Chains A and B, each alone.
Chain A
Amino acid sequence: MQARVFVTLKNGVLDPQGKAIEHALRGLGHDGVEKVRQGKMFEIELADTDAAAAEQRLKVMCERLLANTVIENYRIEIGGEGQGTGAS
Chain B
Amino acid sequence: MKSAVIVFPGSNCDRDAAVALHQASGKPPAMVWHGDSDLPELDLVVLPGGFSYGDYLRVGAIAALSPIMAAVVRHAERGGAVFAICNGFQMACEAGLLPGVLMNNAAGKYVCRHVAMRVEDTQSPFTTGYQAAQRISIPVAHHDGNYFADDATLDRLEGEGLVAFRYDNDNPNGSCRDIAGILSANRRVLGMMPHPERAADPDLGGTDGAAMFRSLVETLA
A residues adjacent to B (C-beta < 8 A): 13-17, 19-20, 65-66, 68, 70-71
- The residue that B57 contacts in the complex, of A14, A17, A19, A65, with Cβ under 8 A, is A65
Whether the pair B146, A70 counts as a contact (CB closer than 8 A) is: no
A-B pairs with beta carbons under 8 Å apart, 26 shown: A13-B103, A14-B103, A14-B106, A14-B146, A14-B174, A15-B104, A16-B104, A16-B105, A16-B106, A16-B107, A16-B108, A17-B108, A19-B108, A65-B61, A65-B65, A66-B57, A68-B58, A68-B61, A70-B100, A70-B101, A70-B148, A70-B149, A70-B150, A71-B101, A71-B103, A71-B148
How many interface residues does B have (CB within 8 Å)? 18
Whole-angstrom distance between the alpha carbons of A66 and B62 in the complex? 10
What is the CB-to-nearest-CB distance from A26 to chain B, in angstroms, rounded to a whole number?
Answer: 16
Whole-angstrom distance between the alpha carbons of A19 and B109 in the complex? 12
Whole-angstrom distance between the alpha carbons of A71 and B61 in the complex? 14
Q: What's the A-B contact tally at a CB cutoff of 8 Å?
A: 33
Find the A residue at minimum CB distance from B62: A65
**B197 at interface, CB cutoff 8 A:** no
Q: In the complex, which residues of chain A have a beta carbon less than 8 angstroms from the beta carbon of B107? A: 16
Q: In the complex, which residues of chain B have a beta carbon less than 8 angstroms from the beta carbon of A68? A: 58, 61, 94, 101
Q: In the complex, which residues of chain B have a beta carbon less than 8 angstroms from the beta carbon of A71? A: 101, 103, 148
Q: In the complex, which residues of chain A have a beta carbon less than 8 angstroms from the beta carbon of B149? A: 70
Q: In the complex, which residues of chain B have a beta carbon less than 8 angstroms from the beta carbon of A16? A: 104-108
Whether the pair B106, A13 counts as a contact (CB closer than 8 A) is: no
Find the B residue at minimum CB distance from A66: B57
Q: In the complex, which residues of chain B have a beta carbon less than 8 angstroms from the beta carbon of A13? A: 103, 148
What is the CB-to-nearest-CB distance from A56 to chain B, in angstroms, rounded to a whole number?
Answer: 20
Whole-angstrom distance between the alpha carbons of A8 and B188 in the complex? 33
What is the CB-to-nearest-CB distance from A80 to chain B, in angstroms, rounded to a whole number?
Answer: 23
Whole-angstrom distance between the alpha carbons of A71 and B57 in the complex? 14
